């Protein structure tokens, strides 16, 4: 059987394999300039260039996966007033991101199989740029929501395919590369949160201009993916990978895996906390007497905590057989942060922002576990799509419920109590998802 698999998966002469796009580490002794990767696979200059291009594209794409959301959070009050939204409608607006991530994220594996992951991510970056440019000037709440959905559609498919691209292009550096793009994602999130309000003031004070300027960053992210799509060796690699994936397709149902369900629930609960934080935390501080600019900076502090920790946590997680202890530590920080928001939101604002920033690093941990809880490339695709799409569906009611509770009670006591309460099941299911097992084994994959 092993011989049959070797013959089946061997690429045609002149084509590239997943191993051949690893970063080069040295030249061959024959002096031909051909290099080898850490596993001894031969690579040429074009393959090395492709690898570097994927690396740049991965970082730029990650930077653009959250500004559409956190830039809106920083100017949420101005947008609400400008579009005449009440609290319930505003809560629906904060639920649009997870809804789009759930609906469009489930399409990503099928699109990737048909067009290749690089093509889909490239299209996703284009959609983000177009949506960010159109939504401030779409006119009225329906147009604003539609343009936001376009940007979020691009974010959704890219979200799902980031772990897939890491597993395919950097199979022996999953923790390191997941940490790198998670760090870039946190950097983009924090940058949008901190810079949106002052940048809006500099550009004339219009929230429409302040939101639309982030489209420029998305345009930059399109370029490396466009080059990768046009690169002949990249196309060959996608074709080879697609053939190999089709031939080694494992026969299993992801819904039969308890770990997949635990990971989906963990992803959903951490997403609930993250989007409530990004959508409502500036308003919590503003209602406590903090200025708009400072509230935006506090959100940025929360987001910027993910920059160093998003790089460290995946590397630590991949060295542990069970990631449950990391889940527990992050959850404890979240509980402490919510307690602070409840009892003294303004007095300890900086401390609560730091604690919630640490807690929000459950996101890169979840992405790392997606790569660790599956042992085949196809398994990663299925688990990523299932965990993220199901997780984002789970997270949809949270921001809306917080908005409705705030609108009805006129205060933040009950909404914050809800946030803290959701942290307990997050710790439980995260600990279950962190156990050392794979979805293929649990779902009964046939060898």
- Give 204-254 pLDDT, tens digit per residue: 888 899 999 999 999 999 999 998 888 644 455 455 445 545 444 555 688
Q: When comparing pLDDT for 124 and 375, which is higher?
A: 124
pLDDT of 22: 34
pLDDT higher than threshold 90 for residue 350: yes
pLDDT of 293: 81
User: b/e string for 250-273 if b means 16 or more Cβ within 10 A?
Assistant: bebebeebebbbbbbbbbbbbbbb
Q: When comparing pLDDT for 244 and 373, which is higher?
A: 373
Instruction: Kindly state the average pLDDT of the residues 1-27.
Output: 36
User: b/e string for 28-40 if b means 16 or more Cβ within 10 A?
Assistant: eeeeeeebbbeee
Lowest mean pLDDT among 10-19, 171-180, 437-446: 10-19
Lowest mean pLDDT among 4-18, 61-75, 190-204, 225-239: 4-18
pLDDT higher than threshold 60 for residue 27: no
pLDDT of 87: 66
Instruction: Kindly state the average pLDDT of the residues 175-201.
Output: 85
pLDDT of 28: 41
The pLDDT confidence band at residue 44, using thresholds 50, 70 and 90, is low
Secondary structure of the chain as H, E, C letters: CHHHHHHHHCCCCCCCCCHHHCCCCEECCCCCCCEECCCCCEECHHHHHHHHHHHHHHHHHHHCCCHHHHHHHHCHHHHHHHHCCCHHHHHHHHHHHHHHHHHHHCCHHHHHHHHCHHHHHHHHHHHHHHHHHHHHHCCHHHHHHHHHHHHHHHHHHHHHHHHHHHHHHCCCCHHHHHHHHHHHHHHHHHHHHHHHHHHHHHCCCCHHHHHHCCHHHHHHHHHHHHHHHHCHHHHHHHHHHHHHHHHCCCCCCHHHCHHHHHHHHHHHHHHHHHHHHHHHHHHHHHHCCCCHHHHHHHHHHHHHCHHHHHHHHHHHHCCCCCCHHHHHHHHHHHHHHHHHHHHCCCCCHHHHHHHHHHHCCHHHHHHHHHHHCCCCHHHHHHHHHHHHHHHHHHHCHHHHHHHHHHHHHCCCHHHHHHHHHHHHHHHHHHHHHCCCCCHHHHCCCCC
Q: When comparing pLDDT for 301 and 61, which is higher?
A: 61
For residue range 405-427, list pLDDT tens digits in order. 998 998 999 999 999 999 999 99
pLDDT of 240: 47
Structure tokens at 202: 């500099």
pLDDT of 447: 39
pLDDT of 398: 86
pLDDT of 11: 38
The fraction of the chain above a pLDDT of 90, given in percent, is 36
pLDDT higher than threshold 50 for residue 271: yes
pLDDT of 40: 35
pLDDT higher than threshold 60 for residue 150: yes
């Amino acid at each position: 059987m092993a011989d049959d698999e070797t013959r089946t998966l061997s690429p045609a002469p002149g084509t590239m394999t997943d191993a051949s796009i690893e970063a080069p580490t040295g030249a061959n002794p024959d002096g031909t300039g051909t290099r080898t990767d850490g596993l001894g696979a031969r690579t040429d200059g074009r393959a090395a260039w492709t690898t570097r291009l994927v690396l740049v594209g991965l970082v730029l794409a990650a930077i653009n996966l959250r500004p559409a959301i956190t830039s809106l959070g920083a100017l949420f009050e101005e947008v609400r007033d400008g579009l005449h939204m009440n609290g319930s409608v505003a809560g629906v607006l904060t639920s649009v991101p997870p809804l789009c991530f759930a609906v469009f994220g489930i399409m990503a594996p099928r699109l990737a199989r048909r067009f290749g992951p690089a093509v889909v991510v490239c299209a996703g970056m284009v959609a983000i740029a177009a949506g960010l440019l159109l939504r401030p000037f779409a006119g009225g709440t329906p147009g604003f929501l539609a343009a936001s959905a376009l940007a979020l559609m691009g974010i959704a498919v890219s979200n799902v395919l980031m772990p897939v691209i890491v597993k395919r292009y950097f199979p022996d550096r999953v923790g390191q590369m997941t940490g790198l793009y998670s760090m870039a994602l946190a950097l983009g999130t924090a940058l949008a949160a901190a810079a949106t309000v002052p940048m809006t003031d500099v550009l004339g004070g219009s929230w429409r201009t302040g939101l639309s300027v982030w489209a420029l960053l998305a345009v930059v992210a399109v370029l490396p993916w466009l080059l990768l799509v046009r690169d002949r060796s990249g196309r060959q690699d996608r074709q080879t990978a697609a053939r190999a994936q089709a031939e080694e397709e494992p026969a299993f149902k992801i819904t039969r895996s308890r770990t997949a369900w635990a990971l989906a629930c963990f992803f959903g609960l951490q997403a609930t906390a993250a989007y409530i934080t990004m959508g409502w935390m500036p308003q919590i501080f503003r209602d406590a007497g903090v200025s708009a600019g400072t509230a935006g900076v506090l959100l940025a502090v929360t987001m910027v905590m993910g920059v160093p920790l998003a790089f460290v946590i995946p590397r630590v997680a991949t060295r542990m057989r069970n990631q449950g202890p990391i889940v527990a530590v992050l959850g404890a920080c979240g509980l402490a942060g919510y307690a602070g928001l409840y009892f003294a939101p303004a007095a300890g604002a900086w401390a609560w922002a730091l604690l919630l920033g640490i807690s929000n690093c459950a996101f890169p941990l979840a992405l790392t576990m997606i790569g660790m809880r599956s042992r085949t490339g196809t398994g990663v695709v299925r688990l990523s799509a299932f965990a993220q799409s199901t997780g984002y569906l789970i997270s949809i009611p949270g921001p809306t419920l917080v908005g409705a509770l705030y609108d009805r009670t006129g205060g933040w006591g009950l909404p914050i109590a809800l946030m803290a309460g959701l942290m307990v099941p997050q710790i439980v299911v995260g600990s279950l998802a962190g156990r050392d097992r794979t979805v293929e084994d649990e779902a009964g994959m046939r060898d």
